[in-house]
Structure 1
Amino acid sequence: MNLESIKSFILIFLIAASLLLTLATWNYQPNIDEDEGDTEDSVIEAQLDGEQLTKKDVVRPSQIIYKLEGQAVGLADKNNENDLYNQILNLSLYNFEVMSNPMNQLENNQNQVEIIFPTELPTDVIVDLFSIDNEVNIPDSTFDRVYITLSSNQEDNQIVFVKTSTGTAIGAKFQNSNQTIEFLIDYENDNESIRYEVLENANELAIYLPSEISLAIEYFSYKTLDSEPFRNLLFNTPSSVRNYKNNNREIYTDGISEMTIEDGYSISFSNPLNDTQVLEESVTQYQLFDQVHQFINKHNGFTSTEPFQFFLSELLTSANTNLVEYNLAYLGYPIYEMGSLATISINWHNQDPSIYSHPIVQLVDRLETGLVPTAFLDTTSVLEILNGNTYSDKTVYDVAVGYQIEQESGSETQAYKLIPTWYVEGISGWEELEIPGELLGGDNSAMGTN
């Protein structure tokens, strides 16, 4: 082989080798887990120290009222009320149909169980709550009260889902109706009950106030949730996020979205690019609930421990916002407060949160029980206020007993206290009952005997 042939062979070999190396480089895919590239983007670190809840776990009633011979009564123990509700959810429903003008019949019914929810719910959620055959068709609507007729006549027994704002309703039959009615009546007979005073609200619906109630101030230790999982969850590129402090607020931003930690109590996130102006299509109430609930479960966002639990308190779709809120309750009594210590709130657009607030204070161990605050009035006094001048020109939709949450100061042990309080729902939402000065027994936080 002459020199020129050898040079040609070497040149061909080098060209072939170069092509093979180029092809190998193009097709090379390093075996790197996407979540390991930057530990700040780790999916594991984007999970909160909470739990996952089913829709059945969070769709809870605010009250269950028995109407027996026209008298409104209920279970004295909230644990018994919760157990009764769980038993009702075991009902197997069938034969759904739209009812015309059912309210007069329901209001005049002397024997029934009334279940009141804190927000309107889409009828699609009935499938998540009750036992329903897959082939059963449920008419599309919403409801906020449910009635179960207590009758010895099997033909009269039905469950009715009512949208009280319009008076429209959907009725259904349930299996083993006679046994169910017998169970409901026996359950009330076998457990301690209390009488309710009835007040008519602005929509001419019944408001039920317990005739007597005994709650004391409760003290709890707490822990603060780490804010880093929120940063990793809410920002597309957590590694690009920078933070700075402004007075008592710590602010994280990537130049567009912003997350603020307010006084160490809660986080508030906003993404101004994800607003209603870019909505491609609207979502139904059930789709909104389903998407938000999956989002929270995905990062274990229900950060409560027994005896605390989050419940669905608001579900709203409108032209301007899609809002879902979960409120914290203690032993079945809601914790109302104006900040975000007890509320998970999400404005949801384009299958992502545009505004998200979440408490980072988690109540844990019960420390002690105090006395009843003097501002916690008896039911008779509350009725006098609601029927008097204080509320004569105000809209009242509902009245409830709940807890106000405050941080305990001046104590060696850092704690939060829950103060039993009367609340009134008006046009602006839930607010403390306005008590005339002459009925206050001194300082609002002073204690009285139980």
Structure 2
Amino acid sequence: MNLETIKSYILVVLVGVSLLLTFALWSSQPEYPMVKTDEFVDSVNLGGKKETKKTIIEPKSVIFQNNDNYYSFTDQVDRKSFYEDMQSWVLYEFQTKSTGERPSEENQLEIIFPEALPMELAGDLFTFNSDVYLPDWNFKRLFITFNRNSSSLNIMFKSSNGEKQATAVVNNPDKFERLWNYLTTYEGLTEYLRVELAGSPIYIPKHKVVEPRRSIAVREINSNLMIDALFNNTDIVRGTQVSENEVYYTDSARGIMRVYQNRRTMVFQNPIKSPYEQMNSNELIERSIANINENNGWTDEFNLMGINMTSNTISYQMYYEGLPVFSNTNSSIIQQQFRGSELNQYSRPLFTLNNLLGGDDSMELRSGSDVVIYLENSSRYKMENVNDIKVGYHLSYRGSDDAVTLEPAWFIHYNGNWQQLNFEVITQQKGGS
């Protein structure tokens, strides 16, 4: 074998060894997730849906008044259906006035929203026959009265300060007849009680309330999805088990996210303090809905609950079959706070309601009359600190199971916070039916 042949063999061997080493290096290279530079990642999907101002803002009460008698829907799902139909009514002859007096008609409807809304939102919530100039004041209540001569309906938006109003007309005999039928037959309605609170009346069921207790399976929302949605670079996010039920995530730059495993919730906070500029309520609603829509974050039915303009904070409450859902751990609330264009705080549940598990039974709650008598005579509560009263569901977890129980109960908005009404025995008191 000559020298050239030996050199050729050596060269072949060296090339083969080089290829083997390269393959081995590629095979052992660790896999790193791609760095995500978008503020919110389009591919993150929490499994919910998108909403609009028209679908997320609903009235808390629809009240039919006949003289001094008050009624509302027996099934709160019917309230939702009625309002959705009302949004399709065509409003004509829109005009504003400098008086804000309530209608004096014996037969009328009063529709109450959970929060004062800017009149410019009326263009998103309702259907006008043409472009109209909407004033810059807020409304929380609107009224519907009847014009029996023309079978038309009069719509009146009342300003929150009671000084102004806007009116319109619905020329639809079918809608007129439907509402008039409610007020003459009371079919599908139940009697309500008017309660004066701090000058603004509310309405609650007058008699005993019967609602089912629900056992519902839940689907967990993986907290990694929220990490992908809220952090710019997930490669540098690190998690620390703070306690048995709390995990703390941070990228040491943009944000801090706490996941509470026992109550299936998360709280995100952006430590970067952007300049604070108070937003108007319409802008805040638009930005918040768009933000949650980016990740299909409406994982159950949620409705606008409250707006705090001082801190640019907005909250949405979970609903189930027309009733609000409350919990002791804020597990039924989505809340966001903005500073400038930045999402500063964000808290939400990390579960979604799934299938009914069965075995539910009905519960009978005290009458609204009894609730008022109790509050007026209670040593625990002061009536002047009560801002609202309603029937809803109390959400609790069934141990470590992927299931929750929704139990009907009375709730009050007391000193600025919602809480379940706990009854204590009051002697020598009797009322309601």
Q: TM-score, normalised by structure 1?
A: 0.80
Match of 1:67 among 65, 76, 80: 65
1:168 is paired with a residue of what secondary structure? coil
Give the structure 2 partner of residue 274 of structure 1. 273
- Structure 1 residue 47 and structure 2 residue 74: aligned? no
Range that drifts further, 361-370 or 294-303: 361-370
- State the Cα distance separating 1:46 from its structure 2 match: 2.3
Q: What runs of 5+ residues in structure 2 fail to find an aligned partner? A: 1-32, 428-433
What is the SS of the residue equivalent to 1:292?
helix
Alignment partner, residue 145 of structure 1? 141
1:115 CA drift (Å): 0.9
Cα distance, 1:137 vs structure 2: 0.6
Q: Structure 1 residue 378 and structure 2 residue 367: aligned? A: yes
Matched, 1:185 2:180: yes
Cα distance in 1 for partners of 2:98, 2:240 equals 59
SS in structure 1 at match of 2:131: coil
**1:353 partnered with 2:343:** yes
1:232-283 Cα deviation digits (max 9, x unpaired): 11112222111111002111101132001012411100012135xx13x432
Cα deviation, residue 156, structure 1: 8.9
Pair 1:430–1:169, CA change in 2 (3 A): farther
Letter of the aligned partner of 2:165 in structure 1? I
Q: Distance in 1 between matches of 2:283 and 2:319?
A: 25
Matched, 1:250 2:239: no
How far is the alpha carbon of 1:100 from its aligned partner? Answer: 3.3
The superposition leaves residues 93-126 of structure 1 with CA deviations (integer Å, 9 ceiling, x where unpaired) of 24433333433x42x3311111111111111211
Name the CA distance, whole Å, in 2 between partners of 1:311 and 1:194.
23
Question: Deviation digits for residues 316-346 of structure 1, max 9, x if unmatched?
Answer: 312xx10111110010100012323111100
User: Take 1:216 and 1:388, find their aligned partners in 2: how far apart are those partners?
Assistant: 29
Question: Given residue 293 of structure 1, which amino acid in structure 2 is its aligned partner?
Answer: I
What SS does the corresponding residue of 1:312 show, helix, strand or coil? strand
Letter in 2 for 1:386: L
2:317 corresponds to: 327
Look up the equivalent residue of 2:266 and give its one-letter code. I
After TM superposition, the structure 1 stretch with the greater mean CA deviation from structure 2, 359-368 or 133-142, is 133-142
Give how far 1:438 is off.
Answer: 5.3
Shift in alpha-carbon separation, 1:207–1:201, aligned structure 2, 3 A:
farther
Deviations 1:44-100 (A, max 9, x none): 542211111121111111111101233101121222222211121112224433333
Q: CA deviation at 1:398?
A: 1.3
Question: Residue 401 of structure 1 aligns to which amino acid in structure 2?
Answer: V
Amino acid at match of 1:262: Y
Amino acid paired to 2:421: L
Displacement after TM superposition at 1:381 (Å): 2.0
Check if 1:317 corresponds to 2:309: yes
Q: Is 1:158 aligned to 2:147, yes or no?
A: no
2:78 to 68, 77, 80: 80
Is 126-135 or 212-221 further displaced after alignment? 126-135
Aligned-pair distance for 1:196? 0.7
Q: Distance in 2 between matches of 1:360 and 1:146?
A: 36
Q: 2:299: which partner in 1?
A: 303
Given that 1:323 and 1:348 are in contact with CA atoms closer than 8 Å, whether structure 2 keeps it comes out as yes
The alpha-carbon distance between structure 1 residues 40 and 47, as it changes in their structure 2 partners (threshold 3 A), is farther
Higher helix proportion (structure 1 or 2): 1
In the alignment, is residue 401 of structure 1 matched against residue 399 of structure 2?
Answer: no
Relative to structure 1, the CA distance from residue 155 to residue 350 in structure 2 (aligned partners, 3 Å threshold; closer, same or farther) is: same
Residue identity in the other structure for 2:65: K
Match of 2:415 among 421, 427, 432: 427
Say if 1:274 and 1:210 are closer, same or farther in 2 by CA, change over 3 A. Answer: farther
Q: How many residues align?
A: 389
Residues of 2 paired with 1:357 and 1:414: CA distance? 20
Contact 2:153 2:171 in 1 (8 A): no
Instruction: Describe the SS at the equivalent of 1:79.
Output: helix
Look up the equivalent residue of 1:385 and give its one-letter code. Y
Instruction: Give the Å deviation of 1:37.
Output: 4.4
Query: Which residue identity lines up with residue 378 of structure 1 in the other structure?
Result: S
Q: Deviations over 1:196-222 (max 9, x none)?
A: 112111224243334232112110011
SS in 1 for 2:271: coil
**Counterpart amino acid of 1:331?**
E
Structure 1 residues 415 and 47, CA gap change in structure 2 (3 angstroms): closer
Question: What's the offset of the Cα at 1:286?
Answer: 0.4
Q: 1:218 to 1:114 in 2, by over 3 A?
A: same
Does the alignment pair 1:387 with 2:387?
no
State the one-letter code of the partner of 1:48. L
Work out the CA distance in 2 between the residues paired with 1:99 and 1:155: 23
Partners of 1:72 and 1:197 within 8 A in 2: yes
How far apart are 1:367 and its partner, in Å?
Answer: 1.0
Find 1:235's aligned residue among 231, 237, 249: 231
AA partner of residue 169 (structure 2): F
Name the structure 2 match of 1:197.
193
> 2:207–2:366: 8 Å Cα contact kept in structure 1?
no
Aligned equivalents of 2:273 and 2:93: distance in 1?
A: 42
Q: 1:310 to 1:202 in 2, by over 3 A?
A: same
In percent, how many aligned pairs have the same letter?
Answer: 24
Q: How does 1:80-159 map to 2 (within 5 A)?
A: 80-103=78-101, 105-106=102-103, 108-133=104-129, 135-154=131-150, 157-159=153-155
Amino acid at match of 1:431: Q
Per the alignment, do residues 301 and 387 of structure 1 end up closer, same or farther by CA in structure 2, a change over 3 Å counting? same
Q: Do the aligned partners of 2:42 and 2:294 also contact (CA within 8 Å) in 1?
A: no
Distance in 1 of aligned mates of 2:358 and 2:151: 51
Q: Secondary structure at the match of 1:150?
A: strand
Q: Is the 8 A contact 1:372 1:420 kept in 2?
A: no
| Structure 2 Cα separation of the partners of residues 204 and 129 of structure 1 | 23
Q: Report the aligned-residue RMSD.
A: 2.5
The one-letter code matched in structure 2 to 1:181 is: F
Q: Which amino acid aligns with 1:296?
A: I
Change (3 A) 1:368 1:92: same
Distance apart, 1:170 and its partner CA: 2.7
